Copies of this chain bind each other. A is one copy, B any other.
Amino acid sequence: MRILYHLPLSPYARKVRLVLSEKRIPFELRVERVWERREEFLGLNPACTVPVLEEENGLVLADSYAICEYLDEAYPDLPLLGRTLGERAEVRRLVAWFDGKFAREVTENLLYEKQMKRLLGRGNPDAAAIRAGYANLKPHLDYLGWLAETRLWLAGNALSLADLAAAAHLSALDYIGDLDWSLNESAKDWYARVKSRPAFRSLLADRVSGVNPPVHYADLDF
Contacts and interface: CB of A to CB of B under 8 A. Distances in A.
B96 A70 contact: no
A73 interface: yes
Contact of A63 (B63, B66, B96): B96
Given A61-B93, A65-B65, A92-B63, A70 B85 contact: yes
User: Main SS of chain A's interface residues?
Assistant: helix
A35 interface: no
B61 A89 contact: yes
Contact of A65 (B47, B67, B85, B96): B96
Contact of A85 (B45, B46, B59, B143): B59
A16 B61 CA distance: 24
Q: How many of chain A's residues touch chain B, expressed as a range?
A: 20 to 34
Nearest to A69: B92
Number of copies: 2
A222 B96 CA distance: 36
Interface in A67-99: 67, 69-70, 73-74, 85-86, 88-89, 92-93, 95-97
Interface string A3-30: 0000000000000000000000000000
A141 to B, nearest CB: 14
A93 B62 contact: yes
25 contacts: A45-B93, A46-B143, A47-B96, A47-B101, A59-B85, A59-B89, A61-B93, A63-B93, A63-B96, A63-B97, A65-B65, A65-B92, A65-B95, A65-B96, A66-B88, A66-B89, A66-B92, A66-B93, A66-B96, A67-B89, A70-B89, A70-B92, A73-B85, A73-B88, A74-B85
Given A59-B89, A70-B85, 18 more contacts: A47-B96, A47-B101, A59-B85, A61-B93, A62-B93, A63-B93, A63-B96, A63-B97, A63-B100, A65-B92, A65-B96, A66-B88, A66-B92, A67-B89, A69-B88, A70-B89, A73-B85, A73-B88
